[in-house]
Amino acid sequence: MSVDLSMPVLVVDDYKTMIRIIRNLLKQLGFTDVDDAADGTEALGKMRQKRYGLVISDWNMEPMTGYELLKEVRTDDSLARTPFIMVTAESKTENVIAAKKAGVNNYIVKPFNAATLKSKIDAVFGE
Amino acid sequence: MTSRKHAAVRKAADGIRKKDDISLVDVLTLAEASIRSMKSFIDSLDSSIYREFRDIAEYIQKTKKEIGHLQANDLRSRHIPEAGHELSEVVTATENATTQIMECAEAILEADASDPEAYKALVNDKVMVIFEACSFQDLTGQRIGKVVETLEHIETRVSRFASAIGAKDEPGTATKEETKRKKRKKELLLNGPSKTGEGVSQDDVDALLNN
């Protein structure tokens, strides 16, 4: 399965700078439809309004963390199959294991580069 | 009571028991014998209590002095707010620099490369702005240095105070808000960025996910 560059992507992070960085990287990779949200609650609201082909989310946000967002997405029948990549500074083993158990498709530790983002997106879509 | 004084009390008491009429003098004699017999005990009790209170007073004086050396008011009104201000300035400076750098990068990415001369001029211009923006690191480094200095100052004061009074940590001092935040951090695994050299690498993450 190849990556559909026209699919809508949702970037979730409470730091505007990080959203801008990821948005620019995605643009360089060829993605044309990129939305953003500042936390899990806002992201969930947007996901219920629009079908996203990929969610890229930070972990540590308030009021809803990326971890809680992931669990909400996976328990919602209409959203459960949405590919979900965690991009976060949380780099303890327990975080990775918890995310894996919650159904994350891939996990990127910050700081990261464009090549890593590309390879992890490709891995999610089987490239 | 010594046995001699004890005997004196017993003798006075026995004398009264034998009488049919007990006079006031008899009672006073018995009372006098009792007080005399207990005087040395009461005297010793007074001294030991006096010594205890004196020791307590000295400890209180010492603790007051150490509290004064802590300079808590100075820490609270000057050092800590200044450190907070420095950190706010760091956040602002890094945000501004990042915005500047990103704007330059975006401009370069979006620039029309069909005219090489114009493109080169734009890239040169934007790269110079990026270099200038990077000077934030010097200033933020100095500000962080001041904050570290404040923390070291506080640490020295608190360590000296805790050592001087033999302080022991008491449980149950967290506020409701602190307890709530701690619980949330634990439940949602909010550990934050790891120190350099700690935490899993991307390769470790990949191995964990593929396991």
Cβ(A124)–Cβ(A113) below 8 Å? no
Nearest C-alpha of chain A: how many angstroms from B139? 20
Per CB-CB distance under 8 Å, the chain B contacts of A67 are 188-189
User: What pLDDT sits at residue B45?
Assistant: 67
* Yes or no, beta carbons of B192 and A28 under 8 Å apart: no
* Yes or no, beta carbons of B200 and A28 under 8 Å apart: no
Domain co-membership, B78 together with B61: no
User: Does any domain span residue B106?
Assistant: yes
Segment B53-88, tens digit of pLDDT: 788 888 878 887 888 888 888 888 888 899 999 999
Range of the domain at B141: 71-166
Segment A17-70, tens digit of pLDDT: 899 999 999 998 999 999 999 999 999 999 999 999 999 999 999 999 999 999
Segment A87-114, tens digit of pLDDT: 999 999 999 999 999 999 999 999 888 8
Query: For residue A56, what are the β-bridge partners?
Result: A11, A85
User: Does any domain span residue B22?
Assistant: yes
ipTM of predicted complex: 0.84
User: Does any domain span residue B197?
Assistant: no
Name the residue ranges covered by the structural domains of chain A. 9-112
Q: Tell whether B195 is within 8 A of chain A (Cβ).
A: no
Mean pLDDT of B177-195: 90
Number of domains chain B contains: 2
CB atoms within 10 A of CB B118: 12
Domain co-membership, B98 together with B18: no
User: What pLDDT sits at residue B135?
Assistant: 85
Q: Side chain identity at B5, as an amino acid letter?
A: K
User: What pLDDT sits at residue B1?
Assistant: 47
Compare all CA atoms of chain B with the CA of A116 and give the residue at the minimum distance: B202
Instruction: Report the share of chain B in percent with pLDDT over 90.
Output: 35
Domain co-membership, B46 together with B16: yes
* 3-class DSSP state of B119: helix
Which tokens go with A117?
Answer: 């983002």
Domain co-membership, B95 together with B40: no
* Yes or no, beta carbons of B188 and A89 under 8 Å apart: no
Domain co-membership, B76 together with B153: yes
Domain co-membership, B22 together with B77: no
Q: Tell whether A84 is within 8 A of chain B (Cβ).
A: no
Mean pLDDT of B141-168: 88
User: Does any domain span residue B175?
Assistant: no
Mean pLDDT of B189-201: 87
User: What pLDDT sits at residue B70?
Assistant: 80
CATH fold for the domain made of A9-112: Rossmann fold (3.40.50)
Segment B154-167, tens digit of pLDDT: 899 888 888 887 88
Compare all CA atoms of chain B with the CA of A60 and give the residue at the minimum distance: B190
Which tokens go with B39?
Answer: 């005087």
In this prediction the pTM is: 0.73
A–B CB contacts, 8 A cutoff, strictly below:
70
User: Does any domain span residue B184?
Assistant: no
Per CB-CB distance under 8 Å, the chain B contacts of A107 are 205, 209
Domain co-membership, B35 together with B51: yes
Per CB-CB distance under 8 Å, the chain A contacts of B188 are 65, 67-68
Cβ(B69)–Cβ(B162) below 8 Å? no
* Yes or no, beta carbons of A110 and B193 under 8 Å apart: yes
User: Does any domain span residue B99?
Assistant: yes
* Yes or no, beta carbons of B109 and A28 under 8 Å apart: yes
Interhelix angle A16-29/A114-124, rounded to 10 degrees, is 70
Q: Tell whether B188 is within 8 A of chain A (Cβ).
A: yes
* 3-class DSSP state of A90: strand
Cβ-based burial of A49 (10 A; exposed 0-12, middle 13-18, buried ≥19): exposed
Distance, CA of A90 to CA of B87 (rounded, Å): 22
Final residue of a domain: which of B129, B150, B166? B166
Residue A11 belongs to what H/E stretch? strand A9-12
CB-nearest partner of A96 from B105, B192, B208: B208
Domain co-membership, B76 together with B28: no
pLDDT at B102 over 90: yes
Nearest C-alpha of chain A: how many angstroms from B128? 20
CB-nearest partner of B199 from A17, A24, A92: A92
pLDDT at B42 over 70: no
Poorest-pLDDT segment among A18-27, B15-24, B137-146, B152-161? B15-24
